[in-house]
Amino acid sequence: MILFNNFKKHYSNNEPDFSRALNRVLHSGWYVLGQEVASFEREFARFLGCRYCVGVASGTDALALCLMACGIGRGDEVITTDLTAYATIAAIMQAGSRPVVVDIREEDGLIDCSKIEEKITAATKAIIAVHLYGQSCDLGRLTVICKQHSIRLIEDCAQSAGATFSDGQTGAFGICNAFSFYPTKNLGAFGDGGAVTTADQYCYEKLLMLRNYGQKERYYHECCGINSRLDEIQAALLRVKLGSLRAGNQRRSSLASLYRSSLTTLQPLVCRSYGRSNHHLFVVKHPQRDAFMRYLQNHGIQTLIHYPVPVHRQKAFPFQKQEHFPAAEAFCQQIFSLPLYPELSDNEVQRIIEVCNDFRKKDG
């Protein structure tokens, strides 16, 4: 069986480093917001070329905290894409704001920037740019739109750790930007975790309070915050993982190139030339998607759909029910994701390619 992800393999390949980090924390007697978190924040900020990083409890919290740090909440509208992990929407609602979604481009699954401005109203306060599958949105275009309308740009980098736009890392363009360290992400922890990055000192200081029930000094509360802290164990393990993020993304990149040059029956998404993807997911299209996935399952290859239902069709999303999102609708009917991670062996990728290329219509 070729698994969709293989976390055990990553752990056993690097066991001594993880054990050392874990033991250091267990022996330290300090488990929440300590030296490991501070060091990870410094190291991740340096990696991104962004001034500040604040460790938090999850990617969803990171997004909600981005909005809170910008003073965006009740009565405000936040524009984002119709195709994302539902967490993006949940975070907007957690902050008390109203999500407004925009259709995608069918060739890459990213927000269609030409359809954003028709959604901007007097209540619009921010755009959340989701760098889906590890490919950056057009941050140049988004920056211009945000400037013209005096609204905030926030990046959802949950899937894009290490991806670039132009000559900068994603997570260094918005006023505040969110990362997730959920285990499946390219920079994944051994549990939940997240971070906000910002170059803005006011936002940074606010975020330090917001993640820790609004306290600046212990027991002195300046604003209404939440409990969303990164713990020392996750931070120590993330420091180890950060050391291999670049190499891991490079390995993903060469496997993705092999897929692209070898697959004959499946259509990969378009790669944009304005940046470098981190190849978080390898998404392909096929008109007989369900049959293709069943065929691969029967040949011992796991696949998943990211995502089967666009935001506007979700039961939990009561808005925009009269609107049409033809690109997202069509996209979600055809896509699925092949296994792609650094621990995938050359033989496994060759086997996946052979099995895919042997698919015949009658297999459906």
Ligand X SMILES: *Cc1c(COP(=O)(O)O)cnc(C)c1O
Contact positions vs ligand X (CB under 6 A)? 58-60, 84-85, 87-88, 130, 156, 158-159, 180, 182, 192, 194
Q: Say what angle helices 35-48 and 232-242 make with each other, to 10 degrees.
A: 30
Nearer to ligand X, 164 or 353 (CB): 164
Q: What is the CA radius of gyration of the chain?
A: 21
Amino acid occupying residue 19: S
Cα–Cα distance for residue pair 144/333, rounded to 1 Å: 32
Q: How far is the CB of 242 from ligand X (least distance, A)?
A: 16
- In angstroms, what is the minimal distance from the CB of 58 to ligand X? 4
Q: What does the block give as tokens for 260?
A: 């692209």
Nearer to ligand X, 237 or 353 (CB): 237
143/89 Cα distance (integer angstroms)? 21
Q: Which residue, 178 or 353, is less far from ligand X as judged by CB?
A: 178
Decide if 79 contacts 119 (C-beta within 8 A). yes
User: What's the closest the beta carbon of residue 298 comes to ligand X, in angstroms?
Assistant: 29
- The least distance separating ligand X from the CB of residue 186, rounded to whole angstroms, comes to 11
Residue placing its CB nearer to ligand X in the complex, 88 or 97: 88
Alpha-carbon span 157 to 175, nearest angstrom? 13
CB 235 within 8 A of CB 37: yes
54 or 349: CB nearest ligand X: 54
Nearer to ligand X, 292 or 339 (CB): 339
Q: What DSSP string describes 114-170?
A: GGTGGG--TTEEEEEEE-GGGPPP-HHHHHHHHHHTT-EEEEE-TT-TT-EETTEET
* Rounded Cα distance, 253 and 241, in Å: 18
Q: How far is the CB of 160 from ligand X (least distance, A)?
A: 8
